[in-house]
Amino acid sequence: MTALTVAGLTLREASRRRVIWALAALTVVLLALSAWGFSKLVGLNSDLGTMTSGEARLVASILLNLIMFGMSLIAAIGTAFLAGPTLAGEVESGQALAILARPVRRSHVLLGKWLGLVSFGCGYVLLAGIAQFLVVRATVGYWPPDPARGLALLAGETIVLLTLALLLSSVVSPMASGIIAVGLFGATWVAGIVGALGGALGNDGVERVGTVSRILLPTDGLWRGAMNAFQDPRALLQMGEGQQGFPFLSESPLTSTYLMWAVVWIAMIWGLTALSFMRRDV
pLDDT tens digits along 238-272? 665 555 567 788 888 899 999 999 999 999 999 99
The candidate with the shortest Cα–Cα distance to 120, out of 67, 178, 81, 64, is 81
| 178: CB partners within 8 A, 6+ apart | 77, 80, 81, 83, 84, 165
- pLDDT, residue 48, reads 47
Taking only the tens of pLDDT, the chain with its 282 residues reads 577 777 776 777 767 777 788 888 989 999 999 998 888 776 665 554 566 666 777 788 888 998 999 898 888 888 888 887 766 555 555 455 455 555 567 777 888 888 888 988 899 999 999 999 999 999 888 899 999 999 999 999 999 999 999 898 888 877 888 889 989 999 999 998 888 888 777 788 888 998 999 999 999 999 999 999 998 887 767 665 555 567 788 888 899 999 999 999 999 999 999 888 777 655
Q: Give me the phi and psi of 205, to 5 degrees please.
A: -65, -45
CA–CA separation, 245 and 202 (whole Å): 11
Say how many domains are in the chain: 1
How deeply is 21 buried, as exposed, middle or buried, from its count of CB atoms within 10 A (0-12, 13-18, 19+)? Answer: exposed
**Phi-psi region for residue 232, left (φ > 0), alpha (ψ -120 to 50) or beta?**
beta
* Residue 185 CA: distances (Å) to CA of 44, 125, 126, 217: 35, 17, 20, 8
Chain centroid to CA 62: how far? 18
Structure confidence at residue 151 (pLDDT)? 96
The most distant pair of C-alpha atoms in the chain lies apart, rounded to whole Å, by 72
Distance CA 165, CA 177 (A): 6
The amino acid present at 246, given as its one-letter code, is F
- CB 238, CB 180: distance < 8 Å: no
Task: State how far the Cα of 92 lies from the Cα of 98, in Å rounded to an integer.
Answer: 13
Distance of CA 234 to the CA centre of its chain: 25
CA torsion sign for 13, 18, 19, 21 is: positive
| pTM assigned to the model | 0.87
Whole-number pLDDT of residue 213: 93
Q: Which domain holds residue 51?
A: 3-279
**Cβ contact 161:76 at 8 Å:** yes
Conformational region of residue 125, where left means phi above 0, alpha means psi within -120 to 50, and beta covers everything else: alpha
